[in-house]
Amino acid sequence: MPKRFQRVMKRVHVKTTKHNKLAFKKENAGRPECGLCKELLRGVTRGNKTKINKSSKTGKRPSSLLAGVLCNKCRIKIIEEAIKVKHEIKKMEDTEITLRKYIQQIISVVD
Ligand SMILES: [Zn+2]
């Protein structure tokens, strides 16, 4: 009977000299990618889930605004849009729908 935490893990049959043995495979966490353009995020830990859990909070992702969510290009673009919306150069309705939730996040943090 597998242990409680092993029930979700993938099962692998390993051949030994005496008999076949049931082993459990450790799953890797998914590839960290940008929320808008799906580009690979830099500075975010990848690989085994236990390795990620052991690393410190600042080791897991960069600490700047929206880091670990969006790539640098998209972050700069959204911050520029947020500044325009805040200073009433541009209206919120004129921005792209996909960017709005991030723009609202930035405006709420700055206030
Ligand atoms: Zn991006």
pLDDT at 109: 86
pLDDT at 11: 87
Question: Does 36 score more than 80 pLDDT?
Answer: yes
103, containing H or E segment: helix 97-110
Q: How confident is the model at residue 54 (pLDDT cuts 50, 70, 90)?
A: confident
Distance 1 CA to ligand 1 centre (A): 45
Number of Cβ within 10 Å of residue 41's Cβ equals: 19
Distance 72 CA to ligand 1 centre (A): 7
Residues 60-100 pLDDT 10s: 888 888 888 999 999 999 999 999 999 999 999 999 999 99
Q: What is the DSSP letter of 61?
A: S
Q: Take residue 80 and report the two structure tokens written for it.
A: 């520029």
Distance 83 CA to ligand 1 centre (A): 19
pLDDT at 73: 93
Distance 16 CA to ligand 1 centre (A): 47
Label residues 62-91 b or e (16+ Cβ within 10 Å = b): eeebbbebbbeebbebbbebbebbeeeebe
Distance 98 CA to ligand 1 centre (A): 12
Distance 38 CA to ligand 1 centre (A): 6
Distance 11 CA to ligand 1 centre (A): 36
Domain ranges for the chain? 28-110
Using CA atoms, how far apart are residues 107 and 35, in angstroms rounded to an integer? 18
Q: How confident is the model at residue 45 (pLDDT cuts 50, 70, 90)?
A: confident
Distance 96 CA to ligand 1 centre (A): 15
Strands (E), the chain: 10-15, 20-25
Question: Does 104 score more than 90 pLDDT?
Answer: yes
